[in-house]
Amino acid sequence: MDKVLLVIPAYNEEQNIERVVDQLTDQFPEFDYIVVNDGSKDQTAAICRRRGYRLLDLPVNLGLAGCFQAGMKYAWEKGYRYAIQFDGDGQHRPEFIKAMREKMDQGYDIVIGSRFVTVPKGWSPRMIGSRIIGGAIRLTTGARICDPTSGMRLFNRKMIGEFALNLNYGPEPDTISFLIHQGARVAEVQVTIDDRTAGESYLKPVTAIKYMARMLLSILVVQNFRKRQ
């Protein structure tokens, strides 16, 4: 199937999911989507059912890795050539997907929607974090990734199969690093990612520091021992 499938992990996104999906169906009907409700405790699943959205309703919370893998299994079984990780909080903008797909068709396996291909003025904590992780990836793989922490990532059919059948890992920077080690070609396209306007992000300052430490440890050390499942 030649369409791009938007895999939308959603955990407690009752304040956002309607706006996200309605924008897609109204303004971007050329894309398909699947909402993967990750055992939400709020009305996310109920809203999706009431509105008739395409929904994978997980009975328990699996976390991003399991939730995303469920969406990629759906993409694999349905025969999609392209699948993109697309947040359910309204931060990702679908108008950039076409350019990401065009980039992928130049021969890439993964295309990241990057905030930092063209360097903005000033240095935000988010940019600094991306630069540090990007430096670790470059040190260990030789690949230059400007925004490895961006959650907007497009995968081709081969990568869909990796996540659906082989990789029991989340779509995180260390997994991108691992896939580069395995020969995946990665490119970036400049995008704009909006701030969350409703709901609560899980990435609070303490969590962000722990995340950084975990990613750096994985990229610099664990990658040497990591294997496909």
Q: What is the pLDDT of residues 192-209, one digit of tens each?
A: 998 766 655 555 568 888
Residues 6+ apart with CB under 8 A from 50: none
DSSP code of 211? H
Strands 186-190 and 82-85, how do they pair? unpaired
Strands 110-114 and 32-38, how do they pair? unpaired
Task: Give the pLDDT confidence score for residue 14 in this predicted structure.
Answer: 96
Task: Give the pLDDT confidence score for residue 169 in this predicted structure.
Answer: 80
pLDDT at 35 over 80: yes
What is the chain's mean pLDDT, rounded?
A: 91
Task: Give the pLDDT confidence score for residue 157 in this predicted structure.
Answer: 98
Beta carbons of 38 and 116 less than 8 angstroms apart: no
Domain ranges of the chain: 4-224
Task: Give the pLDDT confidence score for residue 122 in this predicted structure.
Answer: 58
Fold that domain 4-224 belongs to in CATH: Spore Coat Polysaccharide Biosynthesis Protein SpsA; Chain A (3.90.550)
Provide the pLDDT confidence category of residue 229 given band limits of 50, 70 and 90.
low
Task: Give the pLDDT confidence score for residue 224 in this predicted structure.
Answer: 73
Beta carbons of 92 and 199 less than 8 angstroms apart: no
What is the average per-residue pLDDT within 69-76?
Answer: 97
Of the candidates 69, 223, 215, 221, the residue with the CA atom closest to the CA atom of residue 148: 215
What is the average per-residue pLDDT within 153-167?
Answer: 94
Provide the pLDDT confidence category of residue 114 given band limits of 50, 70 and 90.
very high
pLDDT at 137 over 80: yes
Task: Give the pLDDT confidence score for residue 216 in this predicted structure.
Answer: 95
Task: Give the pLDDT confidence score for residue 198 in this predicted structure.
Answer: 61
Stronger pLDDT, 67 or 168, i.e. the higher one:
67
DSSP 66-128: HHHHHHHHHHHHHT-SEEEE--TTS-S-GGGHHHHHHHHTTT-SEEEEES-SSPPSS--HHHH
